[in-house]
A and B are shown apart, each in its own frame.
Chain A
Amino acid sequence: MTRTTLALVSILALAPRPAAAFCGFYVGGADTKLFNKASQVVLVRDGNRTAISMANDYRGELTQFALVVPVPVVLKREQIAVGDRALFDRIDAYSAPRLVEYSDENPCEPRRMYEFAPAAARGGMANVEDKGRSSEKALGVTIEAKYTVGEYDILILSAKQSDGLETWLRENGYHIPKGASAALAPYIKQNLKFFVAKVNLKEQVKSGSANLRPIQFAYEDPRYMLPIRLGMINADGPQDLIVYALSRHGRVETTNYRTIKLPSDAEVPEYVAQVFPDFYKTMFAKSVADENGSAVFTEYSWDMGWCDPCASQPLSNDELRKLGVWWLDEGQSPSRGRWGGGGVPVRVTRLHVRYDAEHFPEDLMFQETADTANFQGRFVMRHPWRGAMTCAAADGYRRETRARQSREAETLAKLTGWDLNDIRAKIQWIDSSEDGGGTWYKNIFH
């Protein structure tokens, strides 16, 4: 058995494939081609209360931006806010799948110490609009409320019929894609309202921010769901969505799609460190395909109080509050000592969905389970000892290590579908010349 030293977490920057926005229409002039990274949503839920933050990674014309999200109630001004984009980067970094790196020690010498370092990334979501005027009464559309929050002009609409809503939106400059009314109809029938946002250019200038900030809103409703159907209308392929579900106790999963954990703790060859984003994307795509494109994947589920190893430090109470966690100040006995008093009564479950209209006919429904077991998407890479070895154990170490490298190659092939021979060609195999230390001086002066 080789002794190892825990070292260095590296990582990520997943840079997911371009995708359309999930929760609203991507509109935009017909000639405006928009691309998005994965959508990101922080979904805070306890009891019947929900707080949602949606991050935009919109990079088109600001006048073209529009967001249409079904919401269960007419939101009051105080229920809406704009958030801090940096918090999404924080929670992304904290929960991102990670590559852990270990270095074997010299089998001929005793051990050393460790350190670590992380990184991660992911993108947001977006939409678009235009300009307009209307005849809402005739179309059965009611403007229930109107606010300017941060750089956004927000309307809460209710509608009687979907084609009326579609017409109204179009007349008011929201370039709604064809087929929108069919997608809007079920929400109207369920008596949902529509949260419609566009950018207020003056406020946007005042905000001084180059990027659009996340939109946040909170409401009370028994439905624990995320509407994804609207965003599929004009999508021309699968879209990625990362949901950071913040709950009080247990792991969150979807109840109308199978939720499964991504492969974790697999040992992969060293060179994966150089191609980790590519590796992760390929592995994820293969996992999606293996599940016939209709599963939701758990990438992380952890008590927010700690992490091990940490890809990034856990979010502070202040950061959690800004993301909508409202129960942190309830009494002062929240953690009930589950982690010996050091815990925070918040669990983050990171769910990754790649969805399209065919495989995801329904919106995502969730439940908080009683599962408090921690899980992380973690891949392990072990560096063999390549220095001089001058003892009898060296031969055995070399044999074992080569066998391990072989296993790692097979694991990688299995996870990604990459060709085994290609993988083997890229591996820096440990020298197997079993010289028993006879040429021990070979390496000492280098």
Chain B
Amino acid sequence: MVQEHLPLSRARDPRYFQVAFLSSLLAAGLLWRGLCSTPAQIALTFAAGLLTQAAFLRALGLKEVGVLSALITCLSVSLLLHSDTLWVQPLAASAALAGKFMLRARGKHLFNPANLGVVFGLLMTGHAWCSPAQWGHDVMLAAWIVLLGATVVWRSERSDVSWSFLAFYLGLAFLRVAYLGQRPAVFWHQFENGSLLLFAFFMISDPKTIPDSRAGRVALAALAAVLAFGWQFVFYRQNGLFYALFLLTPLTALFDAWRPAPRHAWVRAELVPAATR
């Protein structure tokens, strides 16, 4: 069993930045018409998520694991998953965090926790949905997400996966628009989608669930882009981003076997590989 490392230098842990950014987004969503999660849903989601995390830490005797990852999972579930009940998002957050401890391979999570929570909610509860257009297509919001997201992935040294995912996905979108003879505005409309950018910078970039090597990460990003794109534009199904990542992250072990590389650590001061086999 692997432990996450307690940051020696907290300021350097990019997850603080990520938590701050996602919190601001959640606050904006609460005040801004249209975000469906209610304060009660959010409070219950955090309560359930953090309790699950604490229960597992206790049961497994883990002491040096921080709360950041659980916070990010709860924030993500609150932001992405919607429900007309009070129990769906808390259950999804619990499932996500339980999955983080229980579904492991070679010292890595088998699934991205937030992604697992979203897919669990969508498939298992019958009372959940995602609104891919909830963040609209606003240039300023898009710029804000890109700016802050780019900073987070740069500091966690996983910029490559975010940028290559966007390049592949938007490349496909561009080719489609060009092939169909649609106006460039259609491409920009797809580019400015806040949900797509959030996914690229705050979900697929989680170092714990993607390959250690750059080549592996770029390959994963390419596959995810193709799958998500095909899901939406060939099969006309919803939530392709989440399902693509859900199906692909378990393959991370294969990518790591193909291109071994040092394991990621949140803070550089501690470069000791986290993996123990």
Q: Which of B4-12, B62-70, B90-98, B183-191 contacts A (4 or more CB under 8 A)?
A: B183-191
Within the assembled complex, what's the spacing in Å between the Cα atoms of A250 and B83?
A: 11
What residues of A have a CB within 8 angstroms of the CB of B188 in the complex? 361
**Smallest CB–CB gap between A132 and chain B, Å?**
26
Q: Is B82 an interface residue (CB 8 A)?
A: yes
Inter-subunit contact B135/A258 (CB<8 Å) = yes
Indicate if B14 sits at the interface (CB-CB under 8 A).
no
Are B236 and A223 in touch, CB under 8 angstroms? yes
Q: Which of the listed residues A182, A185, A260 has the most CB atoms from chain B within 10 Å of its own CB?
A: A260
Would you call B137 and A294 a contact (CB within 8 A)? yes
Q: A294-B137, A361-B186 are in contact. Are A370 and B34 (CB under 8 A)?
A: no
Among the stretches B121-129, B205-213, B222-230, B242-250, the one at the interface with A is: B121-129
Check: B33 CB closer than 8 A to any chain A CB: yes
Q: Is the Cβ of A371 less than 8 Å from the Cβ of B84?
A: yes
Contacts of B31 in A (CB 8 A): none
Q: Which of B137, B180, B235, B237 contacts A190 (CB 8 A)?
A: B180
**Cα–Cα, bound, A272→B246 (Å):** 52
A93 is an interface residue with CB less than 8 A from chain B: no
Check if B164 is an interface residue, CB within 8 A of chain A: no
Q: Please state if A259 and B235 are interface contacts (CB–CB under 8 Å).
A: no
Residue among B131, B133, B181 with the highest chain A CB neighbour number at 10 A: B133
Do residues B186 and A224 form an inter-chain contact, with CB atoms below 8 A? no
Contact yes or no, B129 A186, CB < 8 A: no
User: CB-CB < 8 A to B183: which residues of A?
Assistant: 361
B180 lies within 8 A of A370 (CB): no
Q: Please give me the residue from chain B that is nearest to A369 by CB atom.
A: B129
**Chain B residues closer than 8 Å to A257, beta-carbon distance:** 133, 136-137
Q: Are B136 and A295 in contact (CB under 8 A)?
A: yes
Chain B 146-190: CB-based contact to A (< 8 A → 1; otherwise 0) = 000000000000000000000000000000000111110110110
> Is the beta-carbon distance between B136 and A186 smaller than 8 angstroms?
no
Assess the A367–B84 pair: CB atoms within 8 A. no
Q: Which residue of B lies closest to A224 (CB)?
A: B236
Is B23 interfacial (CB-CB < 8 Å)?
no
CA distance A256 to B133 in the complex (A): 5
Chain B residues near A254: list those with CB within 8 A: 133
A185-B181, A222-B237, A361-B185 given; A367·B136 CB < 8 A:
no
Is A332's CB within 8 Å of the partner chain B?
no
**Shortest distance from the beta carbon of B256 to any chain A beta carbon, whole Å:** 35
Instruction: Select A371's contact among B125, B129, B134, B179, beta carbons within 8 Å.
Output: B129
Determine if B236 and A370 form an interchain contact, defined as CB atoms under 8 angstroms apart: no
Binary B-proximity of A130-142 (CB < 8 A = 1, otherwise 0): 0000000000000
B33–A256 touching, CB < 8 Å: no
Closest-CB distance, B221 to chain A (whole angstroms) = 23
How many residues on chain B are close to A (CB under 8 Å)? 33
Chain B 29-66 residues near chain A, CB threshold 8 A = 33-34, 36
Interface membership of A372, Cβ < 8 A = yes
A256 touches B189 (CB 8 A): yes
- Which residues 245-283 in A have Cβ within 8 Å of B in the complex? 250, 253-261
A205 CB–B CB distance under 8 Å:
no
Within 8 Å of chain B (Cβ to Cβ): is A373? yes
In the complex, A362 has a CB within 8 A of chain B = yes
Known: A254-B133, A372-B84. A260 touches B34 (CB 8 A): yes
A260 touches B33 (CB 8 A): yes
- In the complex, the answer to whether B180 meets A373 with C-beta atoms within 8 Å is no
In whole angstroms, what is the CA distance A292 to B186 when docked? 17
Type the 1/0 row for B90-112, where 1 means its CB is closer than 8 Å to any CB of A. Answer: 00000000000000000000000
Q: Smallest distance from the beta carbon of A227 to chain B beta carbons, Å? A: 13
**Residue of A250, A254, A258 with most partner-chain B CB within 10 A:** A258
A182 to B180, CA, bound (A): 10
User: A362: which B residues are within 8 A, CB to CB?
Assistant: 182, 186, 189
Interface residues of A in 143-200 (CB under 8 A from B): 162, 182, 185-186, 189-190
Q: Report A187-217 CB contacts with B as 1/0, cut-off 8 Å.
A: 0011000000000000000000000000000
B131 contacts A259, C-beta separation under 8 Å: yes
Q: Name the A residues within 8 Å of B237 (CB-CB).
A: 222
Chain A CB within 8 A of B270 CB: no
Cα distance, A253 to B126, chains bound together (Å): 17
How far is the CB of B39 from the nearest CB of chain A, in Å?
A: 16
A-B contact pairs, 6 of them (CB 8 A): A190-B180, A292-B138, A295-B34, A361-B186, A362-B186, A372-B84
- Chain B residues in the interface with A (C-beta under 8 A): 33-34, 36, 82-84, 125-129, 131-138, 179-183, 185-186, 188-189, 193, 235-238
A sample of 13 more A-B contacts (CB under 8 A), given A258-B136, A370-B127, is A185-B181, A255-B133, A256-B132, A257-B136, A292-B138, A294-B137, A295-B34, A358-B185, A367-B238, A369-B131, A371-B36, A371-B82, A371-B84
Nearest first, the 5 A-B pairs at minimum CB distance are A361-B185, A369-B129, A260-B34, A186-B180, A185-B181
